[in-house]
Structure 1
Amino acid sequence: MVSLINTEIYFCEVRLVLVLTILLGTLTLQAQLSTEKYVSLARADLEDQNFTLAIQRLNFAIKASPYNVEAYFLRAMAKHQLNDYQGAIMDYSHCIRLAPTSSAAYQNRGLSRAKSGDNAKAIEDFNRSIKIDPSNYFIYINKAYSQLQIKDYEGAIASCNRAISLNEYLESGYLFRGIGNAELKNLDLAILDYTNTLEINPKNDEAYLRRAIARNENLEFSLAIEDCDSAIAIDSTSSMGYFVKANIYAERLDYDRALTNYDKVIDLTPNNALAYFNRANVEVRQNEYTKAALDYRQVTKINPDNILGHFNLALTYHKLGKHELAIKSYDKTIELYPEMEDAWFNRAFAKKKIGDQEGAQFDYMKGNEIRGENQSKIFNVEDANLLKKKTHLDADFYRPNFNEEENQIAVYTIPVFEIKETDYKSVSNSNLKYNIKLLTTYNEGNANLPFFYLSNTLLQEDFIKPELRKTALNEALNGTNNELEKRNWLWKAVWLKSNFDYNNSIATYDSLIALYPDFSLAYFNKASTQFDLLELLLKLEAGSGSLIELGEDAKSAQLNDMQTLTVQLKGIEELYLKSLESSPDFYYAWFNIAIVRSELKEFNKSIDAYTKVIKINPDFAEAYYNRALTYLYIDNSKKACADFSKAGELGLSNAYEVMKMYCK
């Protein structure tokens, strides 16, 4: 049986230390007025924590003045606050190239590297920062944080000593030094450091909890419980105090009090898998196997890929004599981690209990084979990281359990673009969001009657009554000029589609293409109309309320023949390609092609299409965002996170929300 898991180490958040005065000296006196204005506004945005808007302003500043160090520095700060650590690192690196003696740039790049998990490089940055500014105690504390992360406890203590020598009232210096001493089992020194932390800040609940753990290890049981109670008194909404208290009681074999405190943890944070796991372990010790099985099952619901939950659940079913259920849990354990020899041996025992002698023999032999392999296996970091991932248990002790719908981040693919129309007198900013030269030229050549613009289903637009547009369209269709006739046919096709008359809209595009075989806008919009119709049919026939998204399988009574669906999607792709023949820079066509290729499961070709979009228009945020989602689908999180970063930088704020989930 796996023993109780103790609380993980939770480090204090180190705030960014911004030394802007160091950077200001690098700015040229000839900086453009517009640059200064945007930088000034961005500073205010940062103060107001409006980080996305700050980035947008700084983009303008950098375009106007590409060597403005402060603009890069502030943008890096904003990206860091949005958890875009890779984007922040890139901007801080640019600062360093422009101002190599900036201690603040090295220090903050180190912070971003530490937050992204690259503590070794973070320490290198902190060392460079220290050479430039050796009296800045915050740099030593940041360095100590990273040293703790890589388990260089003696180095962390040395960094804290230096920081404390520069500021004897440095709360985090004593706290971090206490952590280092505790890890080295210098418990008396650790307790003294935590006590010093509390003398500086009596409201530091983390210091109380760490001192409680150290005191418990030092056999000062009563004092440890008192520290837990003190932490709980400071923050009654945090379940960490109850969790540490429960662990202490469990180690002292006071199971009833341990269960009472685990119950409190779960009341405060119902999705805390670690608390369920530890409570189940205590219930097993009390021979409460049914209760333990329920808790282990909850662990597997919260963390479906956790092998400890599945394995311990199987053991509990064993104790209850439910061998078929035990076999299912062993099956899942082996599926997740085939190298776990005990799962093979135990499943053999369970199969023998239900009379499956052949299966039992196979599992027993397989277990012996794996045991031999494990004994001769050389340590592999990649394997160790995989095992760590498979044994991770979610445990957020500080965030309450919100309703799942309220806590859900929208992850959507930017949908296909299409050409729409409106009365030129009613044109709003939303109609100009995706304006391009091709359409501008066409509108100007046709007296802006109607006004054609690019849009998609995500764009909020003003609604114009269809009957008003129909009257205007009927009047226009009486024209005889060839160019006007061409415009009016396009108008009619767009209007029909807006009224969900897909078949007549497509027929009108066919007529238009027959008359004007080089008319790229007709091919483009016919393709978008067909794609929209195909999605609508799949949606209706599947009986679901959502459209096909990236990577989803089409489930339809009539269209479930994937070969038929593929033929239709290939036809749509050909139409988009046809539109590019006469307008090769029409990057919206490549964007839509990328979406079609994703539906065809041709993800690498989809990425190629998004890359073509970006080559034509490097500032098209939507292409970076969709390409990032495609990279995620093929498990290339590194490139995905880089694209999310760029999309966020270019104004798609949802990219930063997605990064919080996938770019930790």
Structure 2
Amino acid sequence: GCDSTYLLPYFNRALVYSHTNRPLKALADFDAAVRIDSTHALTYFNRAILRTRIGDYNRALEDYDRVARYSPDNVLVYYNRALLNTELGNLTDAAADCTRAIELYPDFANAYLHRSMLRELLRDRAGARRDRDTAQRKIAEYRARLTDSTYSIFADTTQRFDRLLSFDNSLSGRGFGSAAARTGESDELRLLPLFRFTFMRPDTAAAPPRSYVQRVEDFKRRIGNEHLVLTNADSNLSADTLLLLDRSYARRMRDDDASWTTHFERGVSQSLVRQYTGAVNSLTAAIELNPANPFLYLNRAVTRAEMIGFISSIDHSYGRLTLDDAPAGRGPAERKRTYSYDEAIADLNKALLLFPDLACAYYDRAGLHALSGNLPEACEDYTRAIELDPAFAEAYFNRGLVQLYMKDTRKGWLDISKAGELGIDRAYEVLKRRAPQND
């Protein structure tokens, strides 16, 4: 493989040249980076935006095509390419790109608005009206659900070609893990994701917290869904299967009196197809029907966090450019905008009130405290999760990262080492790359 450390100086210098209005020098460095690694999506993405800025539209389009090939699940790539295809007069291709962006993120209001305009130009007036109505409805939903500062990000997600954007590989991830905080610049130093109930193939050996929790097993039996597991892994069901499941729950909600279990399953399926507003609404309906169930609050908390994670990924793409920006959490001092996880934390507080010994709820709350910059509180919650489940490897790993960030290196390395002993492979990568020489 290529030596990424050799690629990085070219890439970073290209960004500096671009920001200081020296596009030809920037292009030369992007070209050098591509020669080192011809599959480096980040370089193609930034080169595409620079080429668009200087009017080299056709070659910019070639770069976007490469990005779509190497990272096919990144919503912003298709949205960017749609705008560029519109500029070039390729209206049918632009509409198809908007459609793909909407498939990847069905709540992306601006993609509906742009496709509405394209359909009007393509004389599909009925389709244009549907898209316009859908966009306005989704904007209204976000307005109602999110704080003004968070909503303002969605109010302007249109790509700005006068800025270079950092392509975020983690946007292609489905779950909260792709939006987890980082305490450094390396992939290994990303917090492990949150635990929630999700759908997996029935033959999957999921990795829940190691201790057996009777109430979790009782809940799964009550739901009676062979796909349901408590895990922090991304779902391994195909996109087509997830859409089919979601449609089947939608039909059940129309056909029967929509029990709390049906609302819960629909909430899980909607979150997996990135219909976050609908997912929160479904889980809220389940809670209204069964307000004493802690697991409903657990899932609503993580779904709310996933929604904020996606919003912040778009916001951060307008910000400082680095190779490894994470959507929801650079270090607290580095974030330009503060995202409020208060609602999600309140849900976890409620879950713990109803089930005080639920280790994964403490673990999840710790993660949200870390994303909010409340690191001492995060450490306390990880510690409580470990007290309840002494083999909770993920909690050791994340507590170790938080302690490293707080400069408590001795405890941090001990925790990461313990996580490795308990089965977290990434811990050994961190120890190998980061362990201090004299400690």
Q: TM-score, normalised by structure 2?
A: 0.51
State the Cα deviation string for residues 14-57 of structure 1 (Å, max 9, x = none): xxxxxxxxxxxxxxxxxxxxxxxxxxxxxxxxxxxxxxxxxxxx
2:195 and 2:416 mapped to 1: Cα distance?
20
Cα pair 2:359 2:385 within 8 Å, conserved: yes
Is 1:536 matched with 2:316? no
**2:216 paired residue among 439, 443, 451:** 439
Is 1:429 matched with 2:204? yes
Cα pair 2:246 2:270 within 8 Å, conserved: no
Q: TM-score, normalised by structure 1?
A: 0.34
Query: 1:445 and 1:432, CA in 2 relative to 1: closer, same or farther beyond 3 A?
Result: farther
Corresponding residue number in structure 1 for 2:329? 549
Q: How does 1:477-492 map to 2 (within 5 A)?
A: 477=253, 485-492=259-266
Cα pair 1:520 1:583 within 8 Å, conserved: yes
Query: 1:540 and 1:409, CA in 2 relative to 1: closer, same or farther beyond 3 A?
Result: closer
Q: How does 1:156-555 map to 2 (within 5 A)?
A: 410-422=188-200, 426-431=201-206, 433=208, 436-446=213-223, 448-449=224-225, 451-456=227-232, 458-459=233-234, 461-463=236-238, 465-474=241-250, 476-477=252-253, 485-543=259-317, 546-549=326-329, 551-552=331-332, 555=335
Corresponding residue number in structure 2 for 1:662? 435
Query: 1:491 and 1:409, CA in 2 relative to 1: closer, same or farther beyond 3 A?
Result: closer
The SS at the match of 2:402 is: helix
2:405 and 2:236 mapped to 1: Cα distance?
31
Query: 1:433 and 1:579, CA in 2 relative to 1: closer, same or farther beyond 3 A?
Result: closer
2:379 and 2:408 mapped to 1: Cα distance?
12
Larger Rg: 1
Corresponding residue number in structure 1 for 2:64? none
Corresponding residue number in structure 2 for 1:316? none
Cα pair 1:439 1:452 within 8 Å, conserved: no
Cα pair 1:637 1:662 within 8 Å, conserved: no
State the Cα deviation string for residues 486-529 of structure 1 (Å, max 9, x = none): 11110111111111111111112222222222121121111111
1:412 and 1:470 mapped to 2: Cα distance?
30
1:487 and 1:460 mapped to 2: Cα distance?
20
Is 1:616 matched with 2:388? yes
Query: 1:547 and 1:449, CA in 2 relative to 1: closer, same or farther beyond 3 A?
Result: same
Q: Report the CA distance between 1:639 and its aligned residue.
A: 0.6
Query: 1:492 and 1:459, CA in 2 relative to 1: closer, same or farther beyond 3 A?
Result: closer
State the Cα deviation string for residues 414-468 of structure 1 (Å, max 9, x = none): 022222135xxx412344545853332112233x235321233x54724252332
Cα pair 2:197 2:299 within 8 Å, conserved: yes
2:191 and 2:207 mapped to 1: Cα distance?
21
Identity %: 20
Letter in 1 for 2:283: Y
State the Cα deviation string for residues 190-233 of structure 1 (Å, max 9, x = none): xxxxxxxxxxxxxxxxxxxxxxxxxxxxxxxxxxxxxxxxxxxx
State the Cα deviation string for residues 575-625 of structure 1 (Å, max 9, x = none): 111011111222111111111111222211111000010011000100000
1:550 and 1:623 mapped to 2: Cα distance?
19
The SS at the match of 1:465 is: helix
State the Cα deviation string for residues 293-317 of structure 1 (Å, max 9, x = none): xxxxxxxxxxxxxxxxxxxxxxxxx
The SS at the match of 2:199 is: strand
Unaligned runs of 5+ in 1: 1-269, 271-407
Q: Report the CA distance between 1:552 and its aligned residue.
A: 4.5
2:261 and 2:255 mapped to 1: Cα distance?
10
Corresponding residue number in structure 2 for 1:162? none
Query: 1:475 and 1:503, CA in 2 relative to 1: closer, same or farther beyond 3 A?
Result: closer
Cα pair 2:249 2:265 within 8 Å, conserved: yes
The SS at the match of 1:596 is: helix
Letter in 1 for 2:328: I
Q: How does 1:102-121 map to 2 (within 5 A)?
A: none
Query: 1:480 and 1:597, CA in 2 relative to 1: closer, same or farther beyond 3 A?
Result: same
1:606 and 1:459 mapped to 2: Cα distance?
23
Cα pair 2:264 2:286 within 8 Å, conserved: yes
2:270 and 2:205 mapped to 1: Cα distance?
22
Cα pair 1:535 1:548 within 8 Å, conserved: yes
Cα pair 2:397 2:415 within 8 Å, conserved: yes
Letter in 2 for 1:626: N
2:267 and 2:247 mapped to 1: Cα distance?
15
Query: 1:571 and 1:607, CA in 2 relative to 1: closer, same or farther beyond 3 A?
Result: same
Q: Which has the higher contact order (CA 8 A, sep 6+)?
A: 2
Letter in 2 for 1:440: E
Letter in 2 for 1:438: R
Cα pair 1:594 1:609 within 8 Å, conserved: yes
May I ask how many residue pairs the two structures share in their alignment?
Answer: 244
Q: Report the CA distance between 1:648 and its aligned residue.
A: 0.8
The SS at the match of 2:341 is: helix
Corresponding residue number in structure 2 for 1:571? 343
Corresponding residue number in structure 1 for 2:129? none
Corresponding residue number in structure 2 for 1:628? 400
**2:409 paired residue among 622, 629, 637:** 637
Query: 1:510 and 1:428, CA in 2 relative to 1: closer, same or farther beyond 3 A?
Result: same
Letter in 2 for 1:504: G
Letter in 2 for 1:469: L
Letter in 2 for 1:609: D
Unaligned runs of 5+ in 2: 1-5, 7-185, 319-324
Cα pair 1:588 1:613 within 8 Å, conserved: yes
1:549 and 1:663 mapped to 2: Cα distance?
24
1:587 and 1:479 mapped to 2: Cα distance?
37
2:335 and 2:376 mapped to 1: Cα distance?
24
Q: Report the CA distance between 1:553 and its aligned residue.
A: 5.0
Letter in 1 for 2:269: W
The SS at the match of 1:410 is: helix
The SS at the match of 1:592 is: helix
Query: 1:648 and 1:460, CA in 2 relative to 1: closer, same or farther beyond 3 A?
Result: farther
**1:601 paired residue among 373, 376, 382:** 373
